[in-house]
Each structure stands twice: as structure tokens, then as C-alpha cells.
Amino acid sequence: MVLLQLISLSVNILCLIQKVPQIYQIYKTKNVESISISSVLLEETAYTLILTYNLWRNYPLLTFFEYIFLFIQDLLLLWALSKYATTDSKEKDKLNDRSTPLYGIAIFCLYLLMSLMGLVPTSWMRMCTIFVIPISATSKIAQLQTILINKNAGQVNRSVWIIASYNNFARILTNLIETHDKSMVLNLFVSLILNTSIVIACTVYKYGPIRKSKDKKKKKTT
């Protein structure tokens, strides 16, 4: 049990800084290349639903502590994306512009405020968690697709996804032993696979597209 407590503690500590490297890199480089705004918006949607649901249920703070900081960090990430995103007429993802992240920030904060004031229907609060798994998975697929299409990891910070993968693995262990919640384990397992895939994609395309080896040596002329 002590080991499980240490694992849970490590998850909480890492979640405090999980998105900080990505946010810092964006502000340092003023570049959001290969970062999918739609992915961040979907991810923040999942965090918002989980956070408000736990607050509505009045669950102990330690059971959802990390989501408070993940929610805040994604808001900061969206602000950074709105500041440095550029509109490209050739960009297929219409969400990649400066205004969309700001709309997202406003909607997420408004939804949190409404839930705290008890203005969100009880029927919705009871069923909203079923959407977390597909939303969370779609957010990661969107980021993975962006990297694979561009064949460039750009400003995507690999350490962020390594931390996320570790957190998924740790939470799978704690849920299997403590809660036996199969739906939560399934969600975490899917997230682990997708987060690990993004780590691999970032590693492969860290320096841009894989370049073919130089032309073969010319045959000697006679």
C-alpha cells in the first residue's frame, strides 16, 4: 500500500508541471508549429468534464487533485496558442487560428462557473463522463495526425507526453489494485497507447521529415 501511495504522489507531483515544458517552449520560441489547437481544445474539454463532475459529486480533493492543475495548465497553453498561432490559408484544420483558443478559454471558464453555481442540469452531470473516453482519445489522435501529416514534431514537447504516458501507466496500476474500475482502466489504457504513439512520433520526427540517405556513390567511369 505504501508503494501505491508513492505512485499516486508521483502522479500528483508530475501533473503540477506536466504542461509547463510545452508552455515554456512556446513562449521561448514564439512558435506553435505542429501543435494541434483542436487537440488541446478536446483535451481541455475532457479535463473540464472530469473536474466539474468530481466537484459536483463532492469527492475528496485527493481523488481528482491533478485535474485542477491540468485544467489550469491547458488554459495557459490555449492562451499561448492564441498569442502565437498564425492563420495559414493552406491549413486544413480551420481551428488553427488566433481566435478559437480564446473562445475555448471563455467557454471552459463559463462552464466551470455554471457548474459551481449549480446551473448545469443534474441529468447532464450524471451522464457527461461517458463522453470523456472518446473526447480524450480524439484529442490525442488529432495531435498524432498533425505530427504525421507534417512529418515534423515542430514545437511539440516530447517530455510532456512522456509524463502523460507515465501517469497513465501509474493510474492503471492504482485503479486495478484499489478501485477495480474497468471503465477507468480502459480509458487509461487507450490514453497510454496514444500518448506513447505521440512520444514515438516526436522521437522519429524531432528534426523534421526523415531524410533519405544521400545519393549512392556514382559508378566509376572507365
Residue 195 maps to a domain? yes
Contact 55, 109 (CB under 8 A): no
Please report which residue ranges of the chain form alpha helices under DSSP H.
2-17, 20-29, 37-57, 65-84, 99-116, 122-127, 132-150, 158-174, 182-204
pLDDT per residue of the chain (222 residues) written in tens, 0 to 9:
778 778 878 887 888 888 888 888 888 888 887 788 889 999 999 999 989 988 898 877 766 788 899 999 999 999 998 888 765 434 444 455 678 899 999 999 999 999 999 999 999 988 887 888 899 899 999 999 988 988 888 778 888 899 999 988 988 887 788 777 676 788 789 889 999 999 999 999 887 665 544 444 444 444
Q: How many domains does the chain have?
A: 1
Contact 56, 115 (CB under 8 A): yes
Residue 212 maps to a domain? no
Write out the residue range of the structural domain in which residue 62 sits: 2-204
Residue 218 maps to a domain? no
Residue 214 maps to a domain? no
Please state, in angstroms and rounded to a whole number, the distance separating the CA atoms of residues 221 and 122: 82
Residue 93 maps to a domain? yes
Please state, in angstroms and rounded to a whole number, the distance separating the CA atoms of residues 81 and 27: 9
Whole-model pTM: value is 0.77
